[in-house]
Structure 1
Amino acid sequence: MQIIVWNALRIMVLQFTRSMLFVISLLIIASGEASSAQFAVRFSQSLNGSWEFVKVSELRYPPPQVAWREIDIPRCIFGINYERAWFRRTFKVPAHWRGKRIKIRFGGVKFNSIVYVNGRKVGGHFGGYEPFEVDVTTNIRFNEQNELLVGVHDWTGVFVGERVDFTKLRPGVEARSLPTDRVIAPIGGHYNWYGIWDDVTLIALPNIYIADVFVKPSVRKRMLVVDVTVRNESNAPAKVNLTASVLDGDSKVLTFDATPIAVKPNGEATITLRKRWAKPRLWSPHDPYLYWLDLKLEDVAQQLLDYHRVRFGFREIWTRGPHFYLNGVRIHLLAT
């Protein structure tokens, strides 16, 4: 009887703990989103969810009109023997996004993809594991249905040379042992699955925006280094000022000096911010503490152009001889 009561109590505690963790995570996300809402200059909309797909022998445009099946994205389909498939869905772009650069960002598509919007080819990506985006600013219709069409290959889409004969595959032998000097892009362990395996997001950016942020903490130097790339997608040169600060919750713990940046028309510029930080709280697997990095881009009249937030942990990993060190403490990495 005591064992039954104890197990029941343990289950109740676990369920309560999971519920509390879920609520706390929602509060953290909401806090970040609330801060971002103060500077609403970029927008996003998920394109995950209900799509359709159809398998084909070749990716010829336009795709067939029949035999489409429903599928929830992100998701992959199975195939290894020179299979191809089209994926499609429709979406609307809000009218208040006018004047922005409209892009579609793919977290990952396997393999050798091609993207169409409203019947026009807008890009694609050869590999299967790298995120990429396509600019659809001139192809979309506001407040109307737009069609997004993505063509994909199975892993043979990254093959070169003569066609591989998979009929020679014997029981117990992996298919990836057959192609020799054929594969020219990473295929991974799950090479026999292909499709849109990561998030798809519709985004709206200002014409001048923060395109990339690379946070590089140094525990040994007690220094925070940040590489920031600013992109100008207008036809005029731009002079802007970048400000950045680190937040711990709602409190600023580190502030970088404002940095002027000149960006050529349809070009980009990368600058490096550096600031000493005497006592940051270090990230580790046992204490995965995170900070926010807030970045603002303003024109010479101090008009806000872009705002971007990045979460990061202050940690550094290095090697000494055959050993790995995290924040100065020797660690053992499994399977290394």
Structure 2
Amino acid sequence: MLKPRSTPTRELVNLDGLWRFAVATTTDGEPWTGPLDTRLEAPVPASYNDLFTDSAIRDHVGWVWYQRQVRVPRGWAGERVVLRFDAATHGAKVYVGDVLVAEHVGGYTPFEADVTEHVRPGEEFRLTVGVNNELTNRTIPPGSITVTQDGRRKQTYLHDFYNYAGLARSVWLYCKPAVHIDDITIVTGIDGADETVGTVEYSVETNSPAAVRVRALDADGMEVAAGEGANGTLRITDVKLWRPGAACLYDLVVEARGDDGEVVDTYTEPFGVRTVEVRGTQFLINGEPFYFTGFGKHEDSPVRGKGHDDAYLVHDFQLMEWIGANSFRTAHYPYAEEVMEFADRHGIVVIDETAAVGLNLAVESGLLGTPPRPTFSDDTFNDDTRAAHAQAIRELISRDKNHPSVVMWCIANEPASNEEGAREYFEPLVALTRKLDPTRPVTYAAVMFATHENDRIADLFDVLCINRYYGWYIATGDLATAEAYLEGDLRGWAEKFGKPIMMSEYGADTQPGLHSVWDTPWTEEYQVAYLEANHRAFDRIDAFIGEHVWNFADFQTANGIHRVGGNKKGVFTRERLPKAAAHALRARWTSLNDRKPAHGDDHRS
């Protein structure tokens, strides 16, 4: 799905701002049939949960309604008029006037509705959007809903971040010609015989037959290659590669032409020329070994919740540059497209993850003390769950396939990969991912319960991403034991599978301002010592390719005795103030980055 852009043949109107807002319990049965009866207004983009002082809104389970008037520009006569939602968490229904024009399930990927037949250029229409935050065993991420004795609906889920909901990303109205470009796929490479030549395979889909011409432009707008036809390969001589920390982007200008040769639609897609490969126990970008330094992150900030904010985007990337991070994982869902584009422009490497977090009922048993249930069964996570998971993979790859920053797909976080049924569940999903994009490695993040001895799916994947908390949840406060446990664990994976290994999560909750001269959990000193113990173990594993600390910044979670004011494993506070660990990581990562390896060398040596 192409992101709306302003081009010579397309225009767009941003619909962000204040919308009328109401929860379903305060509206009649069909709130889209007239003006929404409410005094409340909610900003778009933003999660709605933290905006209001009424706990009934924060804790609401079910539908909420957004509404506003929209005027179609009068110059759009004869064009297709499209509504685009960058995301609606987790399900949506869209009405133009009284007409349902779109439904979507999945909280972190975009969807559209062609509303040409329901609107008129120059006139206004009433736009009503219902957003549903419910999670079940048929959604990704999953959850369950119960009803309390007093009749309240209560949502539970197994992921450790708050279930923020609403229109957390932008909404657009745009136009495109009757004959238009529907999709573009770009796959880049380096000529094996001449490393100064980049190859650009492209595929263009149009909604009806049309002649296609493409041109590749460099950063100065100069044409460096051109081609005819909907499919082909361009060659760029003296190519400037997209590299981690040194991004170089080109533009692919795609034109659809009518029978008379006139341009009927044009769309520009940025791209970078680079290759990604797993070879033995190395992860290679442009044929050179790459070592990941960075974080698991969250789209999370005070008041806005998961609402996208360009100020936080810029500041977070500045902090990552300051600390020496070269990468991050989109834990645990696809982030806003603006984030991916920023990573493209600034040379930050991304592991792109679906919202498949919580596929592990052993976590439920451990937290609640309830009898264990099988994770994969007809009554728990089943064929319907896998169908939703497959759709999440399709939509993620469709959206992000052309981003040079994206070097790997992560299709799940901490699934019950050690349980019976895991292979039957995941094998078709891995095959689907490879079919949709055979150019990028595929991974998943393994939970503590899954070891090299009992994991049932690790051989299906290219890179082993391991989540481990020795020294926090295991051997708490005993870092010598934790370091030994961790090294033994990692060696087991390395020896059995012979694949690249990286730590996709490791961290310790830390209350800023709490100090001690001893190894005391929750203190800033302990977080530093914990990280150092992990790093000593990492540096002794030859197959090790990277470290992503959990987490970049403190973030909000569900209420409960397990979390006080959210998860405090950030090396920055939720307000983005550094803890002592941030300075310690900066010293390590800038030192690693200063050791520039020769081609094929391990930069940690």
Q: Aligned pair 1:47/2:15, yes or no? A: yes
Corresponding pairs, count: 267
In the other structure, the counterpart of 2:87 is: 108
* Percent of residue pairs identical: 25
CA distance in 2, matches of 1:132, 1:245: 28
Amino acid at match of 1:115: V
TM-fit CA distance, 1:59: 8.9
Deviation readout 1:71-112 (Å, 9 max, x if unpaired): 221111225662320011111111210111100111111111
Q: Is the 8 A contact 1:112 1:158 kept in 2?
A: no
Distance change (3 Å), C-alpha of 1:144 and 1:199: same
Conservation of the 8 A alpha-carbon contact between 2:215 and 2:253: yes
Contact 1:52–1:89 (Cα < 8 Å) also in 2: yes
Q: Which amino acid letter does the alignment assign opposite residue 154 of structure 1?
A: N
Question: Letter of the aligned partner of 2:201 in structure 1?
Answer: V
The residue number in structure 1 matching 2:76 is 97
Corresponding letter in the other structure for 1:61? E
CA distance in 1, matches of 2:201, 2:28: 45
**Pairwise mapping of residues 216-295 of structure 1 onto structure 2 (< 5 A)?**
216-219=187-190, 221=192, 222-232=198-208, 238=209, 240-248=210-218, 249-256=220-227, 258-259=228-229, 271-295=230-254
Check whether the contact 1:212–1:230 (CA below 8 A) recurs between aligned residues.
yes
The answer on whether the counterparts of 2:63 and 2:133 sit within 8 Å (CA) in structure 1 is yes
2:129 is matched with 150
Which of 40, 47, 54 is the aligned partner of 1:69? 40
1:330 to 289, 305, 309: 289
> Are residues 203 and 65 of structure 1, via their aligned partners in 2, closer, same or farther at CA, if it must alter by over 3 Å?
closer
Amino acid at match of 2:200: L
Structure 2 distance, partners of 1:162, 1:105, is: 27
**Bigger mean CA offset, 195-204 vs 316-325:** 316-325
CA spacing shift, 1:53–1:189, aligned 2, 3 Å = farther
Taking the aligned partners of 1:129 and 1:59, their CA distance within structure 2 comes to 28
The alpha-carbon deviation at position 162 of structure 1 amounts to 11
Separation in 2, partners of 1:44, 1:203: 4
Contact 2:185 2:203 in 1 (8 A): yes
Once residues 283 and 137 of structure 1 are traced to their aligned partners in structure 2, the CA distance between those partners, rounded to angstroms, is 39
Amino acid at match of 1:144: E
Change (3 A) 1:43 1:83: same
Within 5 Å, give how 1:309-320 maps onto structure 2: 309-320=268-279
Aligned mates of 2:246, 2:37 — CA distance in 1: 53
Residues 188 and 200 in structure 2, CA contact (< 8 A), matched pair in contact too: yes
Residue in 2 aligned with 1:176? 157
Q: What per-residue deviation string (whole Å, max 9, x for no partner) do you get for residues 125-183 of structure 1?
A: 11111111001001113222211111011133775799632759xxxxx9423xxxxxx
In 1: Cα distance, 2:191 partner to 2:292 partner: 21
- Residue type of the partner of 2:182? A
More strand by share: 1
For 1:214, the equivalent position in structure 2 comes to: 185
Q: Give the direction of change, closer, same or farther, for the CA distance of 1:326–1:155 in structure 2 (3 Å limit).
A: farther
Do 1:80 and 1:155's aligned partners in 2 also have CA atoms closer than 8 Å? no
Q: Which of the numbers 165, 169, 175 marks the counterpart of 2:146?
A: 165
Cα distance in 2 for partners of 1:224, 1:247 equals 12
Counterpart secondary structure, 2:166: strand
- Paired amino acid for 1:331: F
Q: Equivalents in 2 of 1:280, 1:162: separation in Å?
A: 48
The whole-number CA distance in structure 1 between the counterparts of 2:215 and 2:28 is: 48
What secondary structure is seen at the aligned counterpart in 2 of 1:138?
helix
Shift of 1:277: 3.0
3-state SS of the aligned residue for 2:273? Answer: coil
Of the structure 1 ranges 72-81 and 137-146, higher mean CA displacement relative to structure 2 is found in: 72-81
Unmatched 5+ residue regions in structure 1?
1-31, 169-173, 178-187, 233-237, 260-270
Residue 101 of structure 2 aligns with an amino acid whose one-letter code is V
| Aligned-pair CA distance for 1:245 | 0.8
Query: Is the counterpart of residue 56 in structure 1 residue 6 in structure 2?
Result: no
Give the TM-score normalised by the residue count of structure 2.
Answer: 0.41
Does residue 136 of structure 1 match 2:115? yes
Q: Give the 3-state SS of the residue equivalent to 1:133 in structure 2.
A: strand
For 1:219 and 1:189, locate their aligned partners in 2 and report how far apart those are by CA, in whole Å: 41
**Counterparts in 2 of 1:65 and 1:287: CA distance versus 1, 3 Å:** closer
Match of 1:308 among 251, 267, 274: 267
Flag as ranges the 4+ runs of structure 1 deviating above 3 A.
57-60, 157-163, 188-191
What secondary structure does 2:75 align onto?
A: helix
Superposed CA offset, 1:272-293 (max 9, x none):
2212334310112321111111
Q: Which runs of 5+ in 2 are unaligned?
A: 50-57, 150-154, 193-197, 294-502, 505-605
**What TM-score comes out, normalization by structure 1 length?**
0.72
Identify if the C-alpha distance between structure 1 residues 220 and 162 changes in structure 2 by more than 3 Å, giving closer, same or farther: closer
Aligned-pair CA distance for 1:189: 6.0
Please tell me whether residue 296 in structure 1 is matched to residue 275 in structure 2. no
Please name the residue that 2:477 is paired with. Answer: none
2:213 match: secondary structure: strand
SS of the residue 1:155 aligns to? coil
Q: Give distance in 2, aligned partners of 1:197 and 1:72.
A: 9
SS of corresponding position for 2:116:
coil
Q: CA deviation at 1:329?
A: 1.1
Q: In structure 1, how many angstroms separate the alpha carbons of the residues matched to 2:98 and 2:256?
A: 35
Structure 1 window deviating more from structure 2 (317-326 vs 91-100): it is 317-326
Say which SS state the counterpart of residue 186 (structure 2) adopts.
strand
